[in-house]
């Protein structure tokens, strides 16, 4: 099967990146419902408020609100009607109306919740709610005054603009000082909310929505947050940021006071999305702000805010605003790193980074292949509240410089679309490559030039819109010494070209590929025409490319040897994971012990575990090894649910091979715990086999060759696999059980018999360990929604068949071997089987076949011997550190017997009794231990039966 990688420039790759927890709202996710879905229709009927029945089993108690306010939807409907000269029609099923914000009470990471909710059939997209921040960087006011105006030739551009025409720029920010002596005259006014109404009342203050846009008395903009999150009609400044941005765009010109804006004949529309607190840099309801500005006629909308968190919901908003005729201009971020920043990195947005007075990229500017242009952003002098002025630094200052240039382009050429306006701004930039050579392609095409932008009568720009990479062996992984192909679609945004040629060259990067086909002739290209290049670009990758390296290519368009445009495209090469897909199962294996995905919890690098081409059945698969709770190297989720432990370092990168496999393939990799702070001293070679024999085509065989690389004996070693299987939507209504008669862990969806089931087994002749875990927690199971601590991992991976049955919920499975010992240099192989099938009879038969095949291959596999129930203490709630109070205790009884369970201290002195000589039949049970207020220290829970006496230690803290 041919696999390829298609990119929308850098946007697609960046969209898949892991989002920092600091960039999202806690306990909050955003859901976009599918059109016509019952959950959406019920929510809509309830006034777009209230809990959602289908979400409660997954997120617990929660509330919902619209992502886009009702008033904003009304404004959008009105704007469409005005543009199309039709009556206002409500369109309740469009995408922006189907987006909701869900706030839940549980302390669970939003990225984890979003990934779970994404598998619900009614959910189109679920994602964390991005937390946007302002991007200014204050500095001392002791250098230059408005150097940016002559640098970009703004003053010269004013003479080219038409007289007596104005244009509106939306300033979606922290509000504007509308009474500022040097800005107030250029603040937009809403004529529909001014004058007298039918009752001779001033429309500005009559508490009526006179213009029917959904907002009452919005005569000079709108405040979406106010002092406490309550909207009002006074978009006056909290933080000074918005007034500074507004002044950069449109401070009054030729009024003999203060400063001048970059643009002439511009009116700024105040749209406040910041709080009234002057020290707050957090913004909210930015999507409402963008849609309000677009609906009210802003041709350009400046967004000097953002975060590293991409959002499908925001993409929908940007598309809607563009449809209404608005070009979004946004800041690229102030982290000083190579990263995508949103909303700037969305494809239809003009992304702006900052340069200084010498046209050099500033130290704080983000650079990235998604950046379109650069503009001055260092020590920019502009208006601040109270008729004052100040200097600020930041891409927040560069963005309004470019926004003002874009506004003047629309003023000069009113028929340009948002995409055409964006193309003109880019096509007329000054080249500053010689001053920023190491960042070429990461700061856009160049620095904006206002005069060229408004003067160029025949601008030219061609966009690369769908670059697609394919590789020679068709596995979708671009490896050293491999030849790959690049196919390109291009679109002419502006004037026709007579002899278009596409040139591809390496961009500055950590490695340089050889471009075999470096130019392709297209010929004539009409305005608006999109073509697919007739031939592919051939690229030979070198032998020394780094793991997970970034291939950077510069695509340059010329017309009759004259430069037209340039864009960078990127792709990930030499990834540290591979996918095996030779039978009914497809699975991804990385180089550090994960199965399913390489990038938990984003889960876009890999296929998970897929059966017959269906959706992934596996949310997370991870290796865990340990000798005690502290010394437990692993790659499962950890102390934070959205961050996995990374104990293993790759020794051999995952490689797909066909040797040593009867009729199939294998992925082999090796890694060690050498860099883990609590290293045991292990190296591990992993093989994952997929075979095509009829009895094996629904199975994966996994072997782990575990080697002691230290000079002491490693005792009491446990080796386990952690699997968070999700069978059906979000993994809800799943159950897990261990069949002692066959040694198989079974995971099923209890309400959907049409869905496949999964079976897991440890098939080596070693002691078996198994734990059926409730992800949301139970009296006998830790919760892993909040964290999965090493002590909790130890509980679940050691101690035999510790919990044989889960509740019906979202479940995980831990299965493994141990304890066993390894002498210095000794290796031991542990073998596992994963099987997927329609019913348990099929699963158990396939696992038996895999066990037999492993034996024939000479692997460390053996026939299963049934494990009897043994007397044991399975679980102590809160262990290993307890406080006074009630704690549930789970225990197993191997045969009918009187049972006594008590708490004793280090000297065997009794502290309290849990069970007092009570008769039990063979089975598992739970009782409550009431721990008195005793001294800190080590204590033991002792269980005495007819056949044995067992103890389990714990600590007491106060």
Question: Do 246 and 238 contact (CB within 8 A), yes or no?
Answer: no
For 878, phi then psi, to 5°, come to: 90, -10
Highest mean pLDDT: which range of 332-341, 821-830, 892-901, 946-955: 821-830
**Same domain assignment for residues 851 and 738:** yes
Residues forming a β-bridge with 274: 283
**Same domain assignment for residues 537 and 622:** no
Q: What is the pTM of this model?
A: 0.78
CATH of the domain at 540: 2.60.40.10
pLDDT, greater one: 891 or 589: 589
Q: What is the mean pLDDT of the chain?
A: 91
**Same domain assignment for residues 422 and 532:** no
| Share of residues in the chain with pLDDT > 90 (%) | 74
pLDDT category at 87 given cuts 50, 70, 90 is low
Which of these is catalytic: 54, 77, 109, 173?
A: 173
**Same domain assignment for residues 161 and 204:** yes
Active site residue 173: yes
The pLDDT assigned to 83 comes to 80
The pLDDT assigned to 92 comes to 64
Mean pLDDT value of segment 542-560: 92
Which of these is catalytic: 132, 148, 180, 241?
A: 241
Residue 18 belongs to a domain: no
Residue 118 belongs to a domain: no
pLDDT in tens, 27-61: 999 999 999 899 999 999 999 999 998 888 788 89
The pLDDT assigned to 518 comes to 87
Segment (H or E) for 130? strand 123-130
**Same domain assignment for residues 935 and 800:** no
Mean pLDDT value of segment 248-270: 94
Which of these is catalytic: 119, 396, 565, 849?
A: 396
Domain that holds residue 552: 462-570
pLDDT category at 449 given cuts 50, 70, 90 is very high
pLDDT category at 64 given cuts 50, 70, 90 is very high
Mean pLDDT value of segment 591-608: 92
CATH of the domain at 647: 2.70.98.10
Handedness of CA 77, 79, 80, 81 (dihedral sign): positive
The pLDDT assigned to 89 comes to 60
Q: How far, CA to CA in Å, does 374 sit from each of 82, 332, 354? A: 35, 9, 5
Residue 526 belongs to a domain: yes
* Residue ranges of E strands in 449-536: 462-464, 468-471, 483-487, 489-492, 497-506, 514-515, 519-525, 530-532
**Same domain assignment for residues 852 and 920:** no
- For residue 526, pLDDT beyond 70: yes
73: closest CA among 193, 212, 280?
212
Residue 125 belongs to a domain: no
- For residue 932, pLDDT beyond 90: yes
**Same domain assignment for residues 535 and 611:** no
Residue 922 belongs to a domain: yes
The pLDDT assigned to 143 comes to 30
| Share of residues in the chain with pLDDT > 70 (%) | 96
Mean pLDDT value of segment 843-853: 97
User: Which of 552, 570, 588 is the last residue before a domain boundary?
Assistant: 570
The token pair at 205 is 């203050």
Query: 53 exposed, middle or buried (CB, 10 Å; 0-12, 13-18, 19+)?
Result: exposed
User: Which of 570, 595, 625 is the last residue before a domain boundary?
Assistant: 570
The pLDDT assigned to 280 comes to 80
The pLDDT assigned to 279 comes to 81
- For residue 20, pLDDT beyond 70: no
Rg, the chain, Cα only: 32
**Same domain assignment for residues 482 and 617:** no
The pLDDT assigned to 91 comes to 62
**Same domain assignment for residues 543 and 635:** no
Residue 640 belongs to a domain: yes
The pLDDT assigned to 922 comes to 87
The pLDDT assigned to 602 comes to 82
CATH of the domain at 376: 3.40.50.200
- For residue 144, pLDDT beyond 80: no
The pLDDT assigned to 715 comes to 96
- For residue 88, pLDDT beyond 70: no
Query: How far, in Å, CA of 501 to CA of 557, rounded?
Result: 6
**Same domain assignment for residues 331 and 478:** no
Region at 620 (left for phi over 0; alpha for psi -120 to 50; beta for the rest): beta
Query: How far, in Å, CA of 799 to CA of 767, rounded?
Result: 10
User: Which of 856, 889, 921 is the last residue before a domain boundary?
Assistant: 856
The pLDDT assigned to 9 comes to 31
The token pair at 602 is 């984003």
**Same domain assignment for residues 842 and 917:** no
Number of domains present in the structure of the chain: 4
Active site residue 85: no
pLDDT category at 435 given cuts 50, 70, 90 is very high
Here the contacts of 279-283 (C-beta below 8 Å, separation 24 or greater) are 279/239, 280/174, 280/238, 280/239, 281/133, 281/134, 281/239, 281/241, 282/131, 282/132, 282/133, 283/132, 283/133, 283/134, 283/173, 283/174, 283/225
The pLDDT assigned to 90 comes to 58
pLDDT category at 10 given cuts 50, 70, 90 is very low
Residue 482 belongs to a domain: yes
**Same domain assignment for residues 739 and 849:** yes
Mean pLDDT value of segment 708-719: 97
The pLDDT assigned to 445 comes to 95
Residue 43 belongs to a domain: no
What DSSP state is assigned to residue 232?
Answer: B
CATH of the domain at 925: 2.60.40.1930
């Amino acid at each position: 099967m041919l696999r390829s990688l298609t990119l929308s420039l850098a946007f697609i790759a960046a969209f898949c990146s892991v989002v920092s927890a600091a960039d999202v709202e806690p306990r909050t996710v955003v859901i976009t419902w599918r059109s016509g879905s019952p959950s959406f229709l019920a929510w809509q009927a309830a006034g777009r408020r209230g809990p959602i029945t289908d979400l409660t089993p997954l997120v617990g108690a929660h509330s919902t609100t619209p992502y886009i306010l009702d008033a904003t939807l009304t404004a959008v409907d009105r704007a469409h009607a005005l543009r199309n000269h039709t009556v206002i029609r409500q369109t309740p099923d469009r995408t922006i109306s189907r987006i909701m914000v869900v706030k839940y009470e549980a302390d669970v990471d939003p990225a984890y919740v979003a990934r779970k909710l994404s598998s619900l059939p009614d959910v189109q997209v679920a994602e964390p709610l991005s937390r946007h921040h302002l991007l200014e960087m204050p500095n001392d006011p002791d250098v230059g005054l408005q150097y940016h105006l002559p640098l970009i030739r703004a003053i010269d551009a004013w003479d080219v603009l038409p007289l007596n025409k104005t244009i509106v720029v939306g300033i979606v920010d922290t509000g504007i000082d509308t009474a500022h002596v040097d800005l107030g005259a250029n603040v937009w006014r809403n004529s529909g909310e001014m004058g007298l109404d039918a009752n001779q009342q001033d429309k500005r203050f009559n508490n009526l929505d006179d213009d029917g846009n959904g907002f009452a008395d919005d005569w000079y903009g709108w405040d979406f947050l106010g002092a406490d999150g309550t909207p009002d009609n006074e978009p006056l400044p909290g933080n000074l940021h918005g007034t500074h941005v507004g002044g950069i765009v449109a401070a009054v010109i030729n009024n003999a006071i203060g400063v001048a804006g970059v643009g002439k004949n511009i009116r700024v529309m105040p749209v406040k999305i910041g709080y009234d607190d002057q020290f707050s840099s957090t913004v909210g309801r930015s999507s409402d702000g963008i849609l309000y500005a677009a609906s009210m006629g802003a041709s350009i909308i400046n967004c000097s805010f953002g975060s590293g968190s991409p959002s499908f919901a925001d993409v929908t908003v940007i598309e809607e605003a563009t449809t209404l005729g608005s070009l979004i201009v946004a800041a690229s971020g102030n982290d000083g790193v190579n990263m995508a920043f949103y909303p700037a990195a969305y494809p239809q947005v003009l992304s702006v980074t900052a340069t200084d007075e010498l046209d050099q990229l500033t130290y704080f500017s983000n650079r990235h292949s998604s950046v379109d242009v650069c503009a001055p952003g260092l020590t920019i002098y502009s208006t601040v509240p109270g008729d004052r002025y100040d200097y600020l630094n930041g891409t927040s200052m560069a963005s309004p410089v470019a926004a003002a240039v874009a506004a003047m382009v629309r003023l000069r050429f009113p028929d340009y679309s948002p995409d055409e306006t964006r193309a003109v701004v880019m096509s007329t930039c000054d080249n500053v490559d010689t001053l920023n050579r190491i960042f070429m392609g990461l700061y856009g095409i160049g620095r904006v030039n206002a005069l060229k932008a408004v003067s160029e009568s025949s601008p030219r720009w061609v966009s690369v819109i769908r670059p697609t990479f394919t590789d020679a062996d068709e596995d979708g992984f671009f490896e050293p010494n491999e030849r790959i192909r690049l196919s390109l679609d291009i679109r002419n945004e502006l004037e026709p070209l007579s002899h278009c040629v596409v040139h591809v060259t390496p961009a500055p990067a950590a490695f340089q590929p050889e471009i075999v086909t470096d130019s392709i002739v297209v010929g004539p290209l009409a305005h608006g025409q999109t073509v697919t290049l007739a031939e592919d670009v051939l690229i030979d990758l070198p032998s020394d490319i780094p793991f997970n390296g970034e291939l950077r290519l510069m695509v340059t368009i010329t017309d009759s040897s004259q430069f037209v445009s340039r864009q960078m495209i990127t792709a990930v090469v030499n990834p540290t994971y591979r996918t095996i897909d030779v039978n009914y199962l497809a699975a991804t294996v990385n180089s550090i012990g994960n199965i399913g995905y390489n990038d938990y919890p984003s889960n876009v690098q890999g296929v998970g575990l897929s059966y017959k081409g269906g959706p992934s059945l596996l949310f997370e698969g991870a290796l865990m090894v340990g000798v005690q709770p502290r010394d437990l190297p692993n790659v499962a989720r950890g102390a934070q649910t959205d961050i996995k432990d990374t104990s293993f370092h790759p020794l051999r990168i995952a490689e797909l091979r066909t040797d040593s496999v009867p009729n199939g393939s294998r992925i082999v990799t090796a890694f060690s715990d050498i860099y883990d702070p609590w290293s045991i001293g292990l190296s591990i070679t992993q093989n994952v086999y997929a075979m095509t024999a009829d009895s094996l085509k629904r199975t994966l065989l996994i072997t782990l060759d575990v080697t002691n690389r230290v000079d002491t004996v490693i005792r009491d070693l446990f080796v386990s696999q952690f699997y968070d299987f999700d069978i059906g939507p979000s993994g809800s209504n799943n159950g897990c059980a261990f069949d002692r008669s066959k040694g198989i862990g079974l995971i099923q969806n209890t309400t959907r018999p049409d869905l496949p089931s999964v079976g897991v087994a440890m098939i080596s002749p070693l002691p078996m360990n198994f734990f059926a875990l409730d992800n949301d927690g139970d009296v006998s199971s830790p919760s892993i929604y909040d964290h999965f601590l090493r002590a909790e991992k130890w509980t679940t991976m050691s101690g035999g068949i510790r919990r044989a049955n889960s509740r019906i919920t979202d479940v995980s499975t831990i299965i493994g071997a141990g304890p066993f010992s390894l002498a210095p240099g000794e290796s031991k192989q542990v073998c596992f089987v994963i099987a997927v099938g329609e019913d348990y009879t099929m699963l158990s038969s396939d696992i038996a076949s895999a066990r037999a095949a492993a034996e024939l291959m000479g692997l460390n596999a053996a026939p299963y011997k049934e494990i009897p129930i043994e007397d044991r203490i399975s679980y102590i709630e809160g262990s290993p550190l307890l406080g006074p109070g009630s704690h549930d205790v789970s225990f197993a009884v191997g045969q009918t017997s009187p049972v006594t369970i008590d708490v004793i201290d280090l000297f065997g002195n009794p502290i309290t009794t849990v069970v007092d000589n009570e008769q039990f039949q063979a089975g598992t049970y739970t009782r409550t231990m009431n721990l008195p207020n005793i001294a800190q220290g080590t204590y033991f829970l002792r269980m005495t039966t007819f056949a044995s006496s067992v103890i389990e230690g714990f600590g007491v803290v106060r």
